[in-house]
Every structure is written in C-alpha cells, then in structure tokens.
C-alpha cells in the first residue's frame, strides 16, 4: 500500500500570505502527527490528531497556525500571515493507534517564506 503522502513537496510564498499544507496518512491509521523541522534542528512537535479530534495542540507555535482533519483521514495544516521564521520542512506522520509505536513519516513539505 501507499505510504504517507504530503503536498505540495515544495512551497515558496511571500511574507504575509497564507499557506495550506496537506497530509494523506496511511489508510486505517487513526493517529496523525505534524512536526516542523528547521535546518539542522530536530523535529518539533506541532499537533496530534486521534481520529478527527486534536487532543494535543500544545506544539502550535502561535495562533497563526491551525490544523484540521476530516473523515479521519486527510489533514491540512494552515499557516496564516506567514513569516520568514516559518520557513522549514513540515513533516506529517501517521500510526495505527492500537500500537501507537511505529510512526510512518511522509517526505515533508519544504516551505520557504520570502
């Protein structure tokens, strides 16, 4: 079966614009995670979904960041009024909640804010 897919793979935007990043998890995976990876840094947790609900939004850096998940599948991370410091790779991962152990990561969306 297909792995986790993310789109777009690359996104260049101007400061102040809004962007939407999409994640398609592995079919049947109920848990979905968003992370941010800045150059030379580790993975920074952003938000976690169990089904369509987000029990943990603690990692969202500001109210410009929001995410939703619909149908227990596709998730969208939205960044409003982008800033240059938002430039990073945004990674999505999914896992079968029954185990909660193996996270399968997508290839990421590379966001550059000019």
Partner 1 sequence: QQQVKQSPQSLIVQKGGISIINCAYENTAFDYFPWYQQFPGKGPALLIAIRPDVSEKKEGRFTISFNKSAKQFSLHIMDSQPGDSATYFCAARATTSGTYKYIFGTGTRLKVLA
CB of 99 to partner 1, least distance (A): 10
Counting contacts by CB under 8 A, is residue 20 touching partner 1? no
Yes or no: say if 92 and 76 are a contact pair by the CB < 8 Å rule. Answer: no
Task: Specify the residue, 44 or 80, whose C-beta has the smaller distance to partner 1.
Answer: 44
What distance, in Å, lies between the first and last C-alpha atoms of the chain? Answer: 37
What are residue 19's phi and psi, to 5 degrees?
A: -130, 150
Give me 97's structure tokens.
């909640």
Give me 69's structure tokens.
């998940």
Counting contacts by CB under 8 A, is residue 78 touching partner 1? no
Counting contacts by CB under 8 A, is residue 96 touching partner 1? no
CB of 37 to partner 1, least distance (A): 9
Counting contacts by CB under 8 A, is residue 107 touching partner 1? yes
Which residues, numbered 21-40, are part of the site for partner 1 (CB under 8 A)?
31, 33, 35, 40
Yes or no: say if 95 and 104 are a contact pair by the CB < 8 Å rule. Answer: yes
SS3 content of the chain, % helix, strand, coil (to 5): 5, 50, 45
Chain residues binding partner 1 by CB under 8 A are 4, 31, 33, 35, 40-45, 48, 50, 55-56, 91, 93, 95, 100-108
């Amino acid at each position: 079966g297909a792995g986790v897919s993310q789109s777009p793979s690359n996104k260049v935007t101007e400061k102040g614009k809004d962007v939407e990043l999409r994640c398609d998890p592995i079919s049947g995976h109920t848990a979905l995670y968003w992370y941010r990876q800045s150059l030379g840094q580790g993975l920074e947790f952003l938000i976690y979904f169990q089904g369509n609900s987000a029990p943990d939004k603690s990692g969202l850096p500001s109210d410009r960041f929001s995410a939703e998940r619909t149908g227990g599948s596709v998730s969208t991370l939205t960044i409003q009024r982008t800033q240059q410091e938002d430039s990073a790779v945004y990674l999505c991962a999914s896992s079968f909640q029954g185990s909660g152990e193996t996270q399968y990561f997508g290839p990421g969306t590379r966001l550059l804010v000019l």
